[in-house]
Amino acid sequence: MKHSFGSDNHSGIHPVILKAIEHANTGHQVAYGDDEFTAKAQAKFKQLFGTDTEVFFVFNGTAANVLCLKALTESYHAVICADTAHINVDECGAPERMTACKLLTVKTPDGKLTPALVKPLLHNFGVQHQVQPKVISISQATEYGTLYRPEEIKALADLAHAHQMYLHIDGARLANAAAALNLPFRAFTVDAGADALSFGGTKNGLMIGEAAVFFRPELARDFLYKRKQFMQLYSKMRFVAAQFDAFLSNNLWHQIASHANTMAQLLAKRIRQEAPKVHITQAVDVNAVFALIPEAAIEQLQQKYCFYVWNEALHEVRWMCSFNTTEADIDEFIQALKAL
Amino acid sequence: MKHSFGSDNHSGIHPVILKAIEHANTGHQVAYGDDEFTAKAQAKFKQLFGTDTEVFFVFNGTAANVLCLKALTESYHAVICADTAHINVDECGAPERMTACKLLTVKTPDGKLTPALVKPLLHNFGVQHQVQPKVISISQATEYGTLYRPEEIKALADLAHAHQMYLHIDGARLANAAAALNLPFRAFTVDAGADALSFGGTKNGLMIGEAAVFFRPELARDFLYKRKQFMQLYSKMRFVAAQFDAFLSNNLWHQIASHANTMAQLLAKRIRQEAPKVHITQAVDVNAVFALIPEAAIEQLQQKYCFYVWNEALHEVRWMCSFNTTEADIDEFIQALKAL
Amino acid sequence: MKHSFGSDNHSGIHPVILKAIEHANTGHQVAYGDDEFTAKAQAKFKQLFGTDTEVFFVFNGTAANVLCLKALTESYHAVICADTAHINVDECGAPERMTACKLLTVKTPDGKLTPALVKPLLHNFGVQHQVQPKVISISQATEYGTLYRPEEIKALADLAHAHQMYLHIDGARLANAAAALNLPFRAFTVDAGADALSFGGTKNGLMIGEAAVFFRPELARDFLYKRKQFMQLYSKMRFVAAQFDAFLSNNLWHQIASHANTMAQLLAKRIRQEAPKVHITQAVDVNAVFALIPEAAIEQLQQKYCFYVWNEALHEVRWMCSFNTTEADIDEFIQALKAL
Amino acid sequence: MKHSFGSDNHSGIHPVILKAIEHANTGHQVAYGDDEFTAKAQAKFKQLFGTDTEVFFVFNGTAANVLCLKALTESYHAVICADTAHINVDECGAPERMTACKLLTVKTPDGKLTPALVKPLLHNFGVQHQVQPKVISISQATEYGTLYRPEEIKALADLAHAHQMYLHIDGARLANAAAALNLPFRAFTVDAGADALSFGGTKNGLMIGEAAVFFRPELARDFLYKRKQFMQLYSKMRFVAAQFDAFLSNNLWHQIASHANTMAQLLAKRIRQEAPKVHITQAVDVNAVFALIPEAAIEQLQQKYCFYVWNEALHEVRWMCSFNTTEADIDEFIQALKAL
């Protein structure tokens, strides 16, 4: 297959991550998280996010999101999110199936919630006939490749807390956000008031692994049972832990994420310069480029390249870059685009 | 850590399996199972179990079991199993949480169901006040390390089908069973009338990966949505598929499983010869040895070796062997046992 | 309390219905629906809707809706409804909790879905990442007191069936609709292509009781278990059945519903004539009047009369009439309104 | 139909209860429990059980049980009960479906749990692989018509509390128990340490209605949402409340329950005297007689009388008496029995 611009999970395993798996494959280790690799990776998270942090590894992003939300809610609660949120459109109803919460969705221009957009949904508290809003869930970076500034997240966290609600961040691409903002992870998560975080690994070069992160221990009470019951307890957990340990060591995460971001920005720049008829629809804050191209061009380009049509009605497409996208890949793609 | 007799999942990744992961780590692949590695692994399963077979990869054994049962049941159904079944005792209620079915459990001497044990539960069909029995679920090998002969499985399948029910096999250690029985997988699964199978990988040297297998396509209808909604869809699926492909190639599965079985039999033989006060409680059909030892000895031995107490009241312990248990490990363990 | 315009369930039991309960209170009857009163009421439903009809009595409207939807869906399905639908706003998430389906909501001017409004949601069929649309659920009459013509329902049913979907009608006020349309029940339900119907009793003078109605027997397969498991099986079912029998005999339903409708129309007429500053916002098709009144007036009027503010931002209120609303009640209310 | 010995819910409505419904049918009342009848009935419960009591009306016994258990548990908890408990055998898996908890069942000779029977299940606390015991649920009177003494309940409550667990009582026939024990309700519920109670009405002459009762307010936190979401919120709640008010006034409950108990004791006495071949298998503490009769006799007797075979293998049958069983009914039944 040609280079895929379909998703950052079309890339494989970053070589350093693969080495970490090999390195962890020595001798016996107790299963289910009581091993030394898990302890080490957990310590890394506490370093990054503070000592009150509790971190739990799970298999995929849907599980990280669902288990974070489950820890924060009862079945009669509601979760407020953008209508473009991954939890709303790309998880086959897993959040509803697993938490039973209703998702209250908000239309946004760029995938970002704001207090003004959220406030109209903050009513009916105390009325037994209606679901009770309990969580504001945002994605950082968003599904549109846009970013929240720390103060924007803080404003949402403050709004949530003022209503005895929580702020959850879907950070499937948190590393891309941190690299783009040039800020430490904690600046726009725990320090901005977030309560829970889905920390993504798979889209940034891990073979497998995501983390459910809680910034106050009481939110993680009994989480072990929830993870197990939701079928997300990995027996040979050392192999996920070792990947996260490597990812968070020696700035590997930054190298991976900033490279992907840079490639997307290069792609956008060259499109603007060389294919001006292609309209880029969203700010290219991280590693995604959203663009409008003619319907006929979509089909032709998809014969060579894998990518997704984001909005069929508008002919809006998404091109993702990853840790192993090269300048040559971009160049070749631009040529193909220009040839249409 | 010393060699662990705690579980076959305390071992790491078999070297050939690790090589297969590395080998699959070349270039981009479409995510979520539409890749060439997945196609190849699926074809291997069809070769082994017949062309009507549908196979789906999931993350862990609990998920394989739960999703098999979910595919066969509605919420008002019941699943009949041994009271020692993994689905009953070691999955933190995941089967009930995810399928909503009641488990109807049966006491057994050796972890094995028989038609005589099951029949008393086959009543109340058609009565709206009672859950409706729909699945007989057995483990092959059982949690007690014992085995069903093909004809024993056939008898249970016939009983199930006579009541419009299904037979499910929890095959977390199916390879150990096949090696011990010296039979092809299909002889005691599809050919014995089984409808669905959890095919285990992780306990036999895979880094991660289990398979939900259905022997009639109609049972797998809409399974893709169920797997996704139950948070078991792996984006970089090629890396699980490649492991299964390697496992099922060149008799690797047999080599792994028969080695583990042989080590357990060696352990049992030496115990009988050299530590006759240790009473072995179950047939050593596969890779587990169950034994009664004095309470004081348990504690002392656990200071050196990791293993589980299976029945606290009886002081019954379990010692598991795996692909990387060596004769030297056994010898050292026997010495430690004799020293007590 | 003064006459309530709060809801048609603020009224008590219609005297004829109460007589029917008394009449059924003679001697012993087998429980759980195997009694002669239930048989008689079921026969009445078959008379009205056709011999293929299957009817099941439940306790309340939420249960009728949820159980209808449950019978038509799997957990990975989606239900399309107006964002004002009772199932979306007034059932505390019971549909999601009990069916696990996502509700896909549509903004409407008048509470009514149309094919044009629904079509944009009919996509992603066959994509494992997304919930699969399976039911279009409409309310007849709507929560805004508006009505579908039979051909409008037919168009939605045809659209549903063209996509292997179902049409469900929330008929909490179906009698009001039938009376207003001057059509038999079946003309705008089964004959218009509906698959399942929640048939309301409580809002039309019954003490308690709703019915889940299916127009093809295969949709009701195993429904008995679902009703029981969802805690909606009534032991002394004769007392709900007897109410429905009375309701559907001697045109009692028509008398009750048309009276309520007439009172609402009288109320609307007098408002238009005598309180022209009150803006009526919806067609008064059945027994509800929606109107905009100044915020200050709401508060004053609520000191005397019970009614609900439908839209706090707009100061839109709802006034309901019922079987025991009298012309004098209307007159008194108009005086109070004028006095403000 | 002849007098039914099938169940105490085969009887209809006690005349005083029916009068109470009629009496409540005057004028409008706010719906969903904010009415004066509900307030009055709630006050009655507080009088009987103490001012910390919170009471919520629901439709049926399954719902009372399920909602009590739901209020006390998370999905990874387990509920310990007798294997003959109504929640285990007669609710079609509703407890598992709605709470997701596993039921851990105990064999008993007489339907009664004891600390000795429960203790072996109190293990695995803190182990993530296993469900966590959280509730001991007993029935008073039991499904076998037997009774706990207050001190027996106290012992179970103490055991529960020593493990941070709760004691729940299924009191579908609590009135029969109180009458038989000649004790106030609170002596063997709240004063014996119970945390939650399902208080039955339907089997004691109510048309419809059960109550979920909590003895500490914090256990009822957010219960309103749970009741609504579980489809148990009754709009015209005054009609259930009025029944309970009447039931708990003027000792009506005692009159009803003690009559039913007396009739069962008369039946048992006459059987022992006049049909000595019929072996009564359980103590006749309340209103049920369990007996062994020849298989052939069952069939013949069922042609005239409705009753249930409790244990098909043993030919054990159950004969229930109720508020409207008469001495003449008993006499006639004895004659029929003797004729066989």
> What part of C 1-20 touches D (C-beta under 8 Å)?
1-4, 6-7, 9-13, 18
Encode pLDDT of A250-301 as tens digits: 999 999 999 999 999 999 999 999 999 999 999 999 999 999 999 999 999 9
Q: Give residue C1's pLDDT.
A: 54
Residues of A in contact with B231 (CB under 8 A): 59-60, 62-63, 66, 94, 98, 230-232
Enumerate neighbours of D (3 or more CB pairs within 8 A).
Answer: A, B, C
The reply to whether residue D100 touches residue B96, judged by beta carbons under 8 angstroms, is yes
User: pLDDT confidence of B25, banded at 50, 70, 90?
Assistant: very high
pLDDT in tens, A162-172: 999 999 999 99
Structure tokens at A104: 């209250």
CB contact under 8 A, A128 and D76: no
Between CA A285 and CA A307 the distance in angstroms is 19
- Phi, psi (deg, nearest 5) at residue C280: -80, 125
pLDDT for the residue numbered D312: 87
Asked if pLDDT for residue A3 goes beyond 90, the answer is no
> Rounded to a whole number, what is the distance in Å from the CA of C190 to chain A's nearest CA?
30
A 272-301: CB under 8 A from B: none
List chain C residues with CB under 8 Å of A123.
312
Give per-residue pLDDT as tens, A186-197.
999 999 999 999
**Rounded mean pLDDT, B59-67:** 98
Of B212, B120, B124, B215, residue with least CA distance to B166: B215
Strand order in the sheet with B196-200: B54-58, B210-214, B196-200, B166-171, B132-139, B77-82, B102-106
Mean pLDDT within A178-201: 98
Provide the shortest C-alpha distance from residue D71 to chain B (in Å).
Answer: 17
B-to-C residue pairs, Cβ atoms closer than 8 angstroms: 39
Residues of B whose CB is below 8 A from D313: 120
pLDDT tens track for B200-248: 999 999 999 999 999 999 999 999 999 999 999 999 999 999 999 999 9
Task: Identify the pLDDT of residue B2.
Answer: 67
Share of chain B above pLDDT 90, in %: 95
pLDDT at C312: 87
Has this prediction a pTM greater than 0.95?
yes
Whether the per-residue pLDDT at B274 is higher than 80: the answer is yes
SS3 A5: coil
Chain A residues in contact with B98 (beta carbon < 8 A): 231
Report CB contact under 8 Å: A100, C97. Answer: yes
DSSP H helical ranges for chain C: 15-24, 36-49, 61-72, 86-89, 94-99, 115-118, 150-162, 174-181, 223-229, 238-247, 252-274, 295-304, 327-339
Residue of B nearest to C101 (CA): B229
Please determine, for residue B321, whether its predicted confidence score (pLDDT) is greater than 60.
yes
Contact C91 D60 (CB under 8 A): no
Looking at the DSSP bridge assignments, the partners of residue A318 are A290, A308
Q: Does the structure show a pLDDT above 90 at B327?
A: yes
Q: What is the pLDDT of residues A299-316, one digit of tens each?
A: 999 999 999 999 988 999
Residues in chain C closer than 8 A to B128 (CB atoms): 32, 224-225, 227-228, 233
B86 vs C: CB within 8 A: no
Residue B13 predicted with pLDDT over 90: yes
Q: What is the mean pLDDT of residues A76-83?
A: 98
Q: Which candidate from C78, C89, C313 shows the least CB-CB separation from A130?
A: C89
Strand order across the A166-171 sheet = A54-58, A210-214, A196-200, A166-171, A132-139, A77-82, A102-106
Q: Which residue of A has its CA nearest to C132?
A: A92
Give the number of beta-carbon pairs within 8 Å between A and C: 53
- Does B32 contact C129 at a Cβ distance shorter than 8 Å? yes
Instruction: Tell me whether residues A32 and D76 touch, CB distance under 8 A.
Output: no
Comparing CB atoms, the residue among B92, B129, B130 nearest residue D129 is B92
Is D312's CB within 8 Å of B91's CB? no
Residue D303 DSSP SS3: helix
Average pLDDT estimate for D38-57: 98
Mean pLDDT (chain A) is 96
pLDDT at position D20 is 98
Q: Confidence class of residue B1 from pLDDT cuts 50, 70 and 90?
A: low
Number of H helices, E strands in chain B: 13, 11
* Contact of C24 with C254, CB cutoff 8 Å: no
Least CA distance to A91: which residue of chain C? C129
Q: How much is the average pLDDT of C90-102?
A: 98
- Flag if A129 and D32 touch (Cβ within 8 Å): yes
Residues in chain C closer than 8 A to A312 (CB atoms): 123
pLDDT at A282: 96
Taking the CA of residue B151 and the nearest CA in chain A, the distance in Å comes to: 32
Residue A2 pLDDT: 67
Contact between B229 and C75 using a beta-carbon 8 Å cutoff: yes
Q: CA C56 to CA C39: how far, in whole Å?
A: 11
Q: What are the tens digits of pLDDT across the range A91-132?
A: 999 999 999 999 999 999 999 999 999 999 999 999 999 999
**Token output for A69:** 């939300």
Backbone region of residue A210 per phi and psi (left: phi > 0; alpha: psi in -120 to 50; beta: other values): beta
B203 CA to chain A: closest CA distance, Å? 9
Gap from B58 CA to chain D (nearest CA, Å): 19
In total, the C-beta contacts within 8 angstroms joining chain B to chain D are 52
* Residue of C11, C92, C239 lying closest to D229 (CB–CB): C92
**How much is the average pLDDT of D303-310?**
93
Q: How far is it, in rounded angstroms, from Cα B95 to Cα D76?
A: 11
Catalogue all structural domains in chain C, each as residue range(s) with its CATH number.
15-247 (3.40.640.10), 252-339 (3.90.1150.10)
**Nearest CA distance, D229 vs chain A (angstrom):** 7
Q: What is the full DSSP assignment across C304-316?
A: H---EEEETTTTE
Work out the percent of chain D whose per-residue pLDDT is above 90: 95
Mean pLDDT rounded to a whole number for chain B: 96
Establish if B102 touches chain D: CB-CB under 8 angstroms.
yes
D positions 115-144 inside 8 Å of B (CB): 120, 123, 128-131
The position carrying tokens 């049920």 is D288
A97 and C78 in contact by Cβ < 8 A? no
Q: What is the helix (H) or strand (E) element at residue A102, kind and residue range?
A: strand A102-106
User: Residue D130 gets which letter from DSSP?
Assistant: S
Band of pLDDT at residue D237, cut at 50, 70 and 90: very high
Cα D251 off chain centre by: 19
CA distances (Å), origin B83, targets B222, C83, D127: 30, 47, 18
The pairing of strands A316-320 and A288-292 is: antiparallel
Q: Does C22 touch chain D (CB under 8 A)?
A: yes
Cβ separation A102–C93 shorter than 8 A: yes
Residues present in chain D in total? 340
* Mean pLDDT of the region C150-167: 98
Put simply, the answer to whether D92 touches B123 (Cβ < 8 Å) is no
Interface confidence: ipTM more than 0.85: yes
Inter-chain touch B225–C132, beta carbons under 8 Å: yes
Distance from CA of B204 to the nearest CA of A (A): 12
D74 touches chain A (CB under 8 A): yes
D100–B93: do the CB atoms touch at under 8 Å?
A: yes
